[in-house]
A and B are shown apart, each in its own frame.
Chain A
Amino acid sequence: MNRRTLTATALALACTLLPPQAEAQQRTRLTVYTALENEQLAPFKRAAEAAVPSIEIAWVRDSTGIITARLIAERQNPRADMVWGLSVFSLLQMEAQEMLEPYTPQGADALRPNFRSDRSPMTWTGMDAFVSAICFNTVVAQQRNLPRPSTWADLLNPAYRGQIVMPNPASSGTGFLTVAGWLGAQGNDAAWTYMTNLHENMQVYTHSGSAPCNNAARGEYGLGISFDMRAVTLRNQGAPIEIIVPTDGVGFDLEATALMRGSRNLEAAKRLADFAVSRPAMELYGRYYALVALPGVQPAVQNYPAEFEQRLVSQNFRDVALRRDAILREWSGRFDSKSAPRN
């Protein structure tokens, strides 16, 4: 083979490796950005496409921080038609930047008042609540004689020194949610005192929101502060962890739905938004989360305390979102600068 044939072959090979044009679709293809868990994507897509036969869902899934950053970076020329399953704090950030298309989905008025946008028409609608929780490794606890905590206050016990991990609130939405919950439940001064004391027991502040629970499940640490949904996947794999929703008030966040301003498929996206607040959709959310936006839907998820709802701190999402910068600056000033690792 001489050199010219070689070059030609290489170029031809390069061309075939590029994607063929997508075949024409009958249904409207909606690009949906989401931070849902991987195992939720297939059932959600199946249910939505069955309920709204004219659409086809193409997911772009990533962690909350990455998806939010992408959406905001794409602001000038949005690629997502809608968002289905993203933290309400992220959506409020986008609302402030006029990125959301106002639309009140059919039936959205029936949702719990705190679980939907207070604007008219609405900018977002809630799906379900997820809470900050403690992943407690029972095997490690036995080895190291760690008592089972049932409240946040329990975590100040000196027995937990160097045994606790939590996400850095400046890097992770879960971390922020936890801190916001303490501030809401205990009040400003008491919460900062609490965090200062808790800092003594903390081994590491991680950059990822799910790492604390993953690490607790692997026995790297005894206790990981994370969010409740994370623990389910790990338990199913056989991790000896227990999920503890503390009784003295937990911060919570909503998974929510919104239409993106500038979507090229607005009508189809509206149909999906209608489905997202419907009862069948809520029953679907209830398979994974203990508290869904529509009152009267009985969640099917196991292992949650009956009075789960009462443990949630009452909080105004917009207030918390507005104070976010100030809270994080305070937190970083107190804990980030002395964050050399303890051994």
Chain B
Amino acid sequence: MQPIVPLEARLLRLGLLLALAVLVAGLVLPLGTLLLRAFQDPDGGFVGLANFAAYATTPSLRLAAWNSVWTAALTTALVVPLAFGFAYALTRSCIPAKGFFRAVMLLPVLAPSLLPALALIYLFGNQGMLRDLLFGHSIYGPIGIIVAQVFYCFPHAALILAVALSTADARLYEAATVLRAGHLRIFATVTLPMARYGLVSACVVVFTLVVTDFGIPKVIGGQFPVLATDVYKQVVGLQNFNMGAVVGLVLLLPALLAFAADRWAQRQRSGLLSGRAVPYLPRPRRARDLPLLVLCLLVAGALVSLVAVAIWGSLVTFWPYNLALTLQNYDFDRFDTSGWAALWNSVRIAATAAICGTALVFTTAWLLERGSPGGAVAGAVRFIAGVPLAVPGLVLGLAFILFFNHPANPLGFLYGTLAILVLNGVVHFYTVMHLTAVTAIRQLDPEFEAVGASLKVPAVVTFGRVTVPICLPAILDIAVYAFVNIMTTVSAVIFLYGPDTKPASVAVVHMDEAGQSSAAAAMAVTILAITASVKLLQLATGGLVARATQGWRQR
């Protein structure tokens, strides 16, 4: 006899299947189309592992692989503790100006990666103002890569950790204090274990970002070989898509690692914030707050000054020979045919992707965590959600061309439209949005759903009335994260824009390549102004949102 499946369970299952379908169409099939090429010759004949064998004999491969691993590991080791301290200060201390620090924390992702690269050249390049600080070492190489990556990855790690640390049960801390545990012991036995999932995620995200990013090594890495620039060499330099697919597959290894780490962290978890939880509110304590404030000031100072240098760079006539200030660099129509229109394209793409993407990501994350009993579909979605982080943008862009431009593809009408840029953006940044959503949802006790169920309230209603409002700050974080990243990304969309849909971030690269670095900086600064306004808007409305939905956190 068939067990009777209640309507609701079937609906939830359907939702999950729908999410799976979107991810399959937007990621698995395109990527599969490309990665199949790793086993083919340029004419489409099957060659087995011959390409891998050829790649393994590339003279610089071992060096590139080693360079990728050590720069990524060092960056992770630098960024995660720094980001943890910063996030800890924002969530568990009583330092002033938290709103300011929260905004500054995001600065690096608000601008295209060319902006810090230019700023570093202005500061530490061979004509740089502070080049003596490098004691004769060159910024072009591992030093430049690591400094730029630390800058670029910091907000990604800090965002995840701030969410992980933002909810805590005060009763645990009360219990620990009553048991006379010292501050350090409480930190080690209560705080760290509760943030464990966030810490693992942050490490995985930073490591993978560094391994797959080719923009920074390309601009400031000199010829320091890393795996990600191998993809660039194969795809753009040699138009050898088969080899590009091989390197792309190799770069997926971190994703497998991430998946394993995620499963491990999930097995370790327990309900963190139960329905009876009392929200933790930090009380002022000088010995903790003062060092944290100093840390925040140092980090914020570094982030702000790098951006300030770039803004100044956008106003000079020609660095370093003519430092007269001018606004001409902002007359984009002089430098690029799409001019200011590119900015409007970018805003439309990013806003659409932020709205649709956040709805998709958060609902999917909730369905995975709470809505359905799991099973093969849930496992598949969970795995697929972790993949985009490890896919270099170039590989994703190429995969989109090969899949959506195929004459037999019924989705081919999307090609060349803004819609494909939107889909690409959502897919490209899916992982971090997903991790943020999951982190936020996991901090809620499943009892909420259990209580809902026992009151015969459909799970969907619990989702709408309880989960979404509680997680609203995280949801807004996700939407803004999507918006700013899509405003600034280059690597995937450079293959996908059409005559009327060129995004501003691509225009920045074009102007820099054409030797108009001041104009490129100016366009980057304009993008920064837009993304920063959106972030400020979020912060401004954050107070309203908090009053409307987070009152329960107050005792």
**Chain A interface residues toward B at CB < 8 A:** 3, 10-11, 13-14, 17-19, 22, 31, 37-39, 41-42, 58-63, 65-66, 68-70, 72-74, 76-77, 79, 93, 139, 168, 170-172, 203-208, 210-211, 213-214, 217-221, 230, 233-234, 237-240, 328, 332-333, 336-337, 339-341, 343
Could you mark each residue 119-156 of chain B with 1 if its beta carbon is under 8 Å from any beta carbon of chain A, else 0? Answer: 00100011100000000111011100000000000000
**Chain B interface residues toward A at CB < 8 A:** 58-60, 63, 121, 125-127, 136-138, 140-142, 218, 222-225, 229, 232-233, 235-239, 241, 317-322, 335-337, 348, 351-352, 355-356, 398, 401-402, 405-407, 412, 415-419, 464, 494-495, 497-501, 506, 510-518
Point out the residues of chain B lying under 8 angstroms from A238, CB to CB. 317-318, 321-322
The CA-CA distance from A3 to B402 in the complex, in Å, is: 40
Contact A3–B464 (Cβ < 8 Å) = yes
The CA-CA distance from A294 to B127 in the complex, in Å, is: 43
Tell me which of A14, A38, A333 contacts B352 (CB under 8 A).
Answer: A14
Point out the residues of chain A lying under 8 angstroms from B497, CB to CB. 60
- Nearest chain B CB to A1's CB is how many angstroms away? 11
Point out the residues of chain B lying under 8 angstroms from A11, CB to CB. 355
Contact A17–B515 (Cβ < 8 Å) = no
The CA-CA distance from A208 to B352 in the complex, in Å, is: 33
**Closest B residue by C-beta to A74:** B405
- Nearest chain B CB to A48's CB is how many angstroms away? 14
Q: Given A63-B513, A333-B59 in contact, is the A79-B337 Cβ separation under 8 Å?
A: no
Q: Given A13-B355, A221-B126 in contact, is the A230-B515 Cβ separation under 8 Å?
A: yes
Contact A60–B405 (Cβ < 8 Å) = no
Point out the residues of chain A lying under 8 angstroms from B417, CB to CB. 19
- Inter-chain pairs besides A14-B356, A62-B494, 11 sampled, C-beta below 8 Å: A69-B236, A168-B223, A203-B222, A206-B223, A219-B127, A233-B516, A239-B321, A333-B59, A336-B59, A339-B224, A343-B136
Tell me which of A220, A237, A337 contacts B125 (CB under 8 A).
Answer: A220
Point out the residues of chain A lying under 8 angstroms from B419, CB to CB. 18
Contact B60–A336 (Cβ < 8 Å) = yes
- Nearest chain B CB to A33's CB is how many angstroms away? 10
Contact A70–B233 (Cβ < 8 Å) = no
**Closest A residue by C-beta to B138:** A343
Q: Given A37-B514, A70-B401 in contact, is the A220-B121 Cβ separation under 8 Å?
A: yes
**Closest A residue by C-beta to B128:** A220
Top 3 closest pairs, chain A to chain B, by CB: A58-B499, A337-B59, A65-B236
Contact A220–B126 (Cβ < 8 Å) = yes
Contact B513–A170 (Cβ < 8 Å) = no
- Nearest chain B CB to A277's CB is how many angstroms away? 24
Point out the residues of chain A lying under 8 angstroms from B515, CB to CB. 210, 213-214, 217, 230, 233-234, 237, 239
Contact A339–B223 (Cβ < 8 Å) = yes
Give me 21 A-to-B residue pairs in the complex whose CB atoms sit less than 8 angstroms apart, sorted by A's number: A10-B355, A19-B348, A59-B499, A68-B239, A76-B405, A77-B406, A170-B237, A203-B138, A207-B233, A208-B513, A210-B513, A218-B127, A218-B319, A220-B121, A221-B126, A230-B515, A233-B516, A237-B518, A341-B138, A341-B224, A343-B138
Point out the residues of chain B lying under 8 angstroms from A63, CB to CB. 236, 513
Q: Given A42-B337, A205-B223, A207-B218 in contact, is the A343-B355 Cβ separation under 8 Å?
A: no
Point out the residues of chain B lying under 8 angstroms from A68, CB to CB. 239
Contact A17–B352 (Cβ < 8 Å) = yes
Contact B510–A332 (Cβ < 8 Å) = no
**Closest B residue by C-beta to A222:** B126
Point out the residues of chain B lying under 8 angstroms from A343, CB to CB. 136-138, 141
Tell me which of A17, A37, A170, A214 contacts B351 (CB under 8 A).
Answer: A17
Contact A332–B495 (Cβ < 8 Å) = no
Contact A69–B516 (Cβ < 8 Å) = no
- Nearest chain A CB to B353's CB is how many angstroms away? 9
Contact B348–A171 (Cβ < 8 Å) = no
Point out the residues of chain A lying under 8 angstroms from B121, CB to CB. 218, 220
The CA-CA distance from A219 to B321 in the complex, in Å, is: 9
The CA-CA distance from A218 to B464 in the complex, in Å, is: 56
**Closest A residue by C-beta to B419:** A18
Point out the residues of chain B lying under 8 angstroms from A217, CB to CB. 515
Point out the residues of chain B lying under 8 angstroms from A204, CB to CB. 140, 222-223
Contact A69–B495 (Cβ < 8 Å) = yes
Tell me which of B356, B401, B494, B501 contacts A74 (CB under 8 A).
Answer: B401
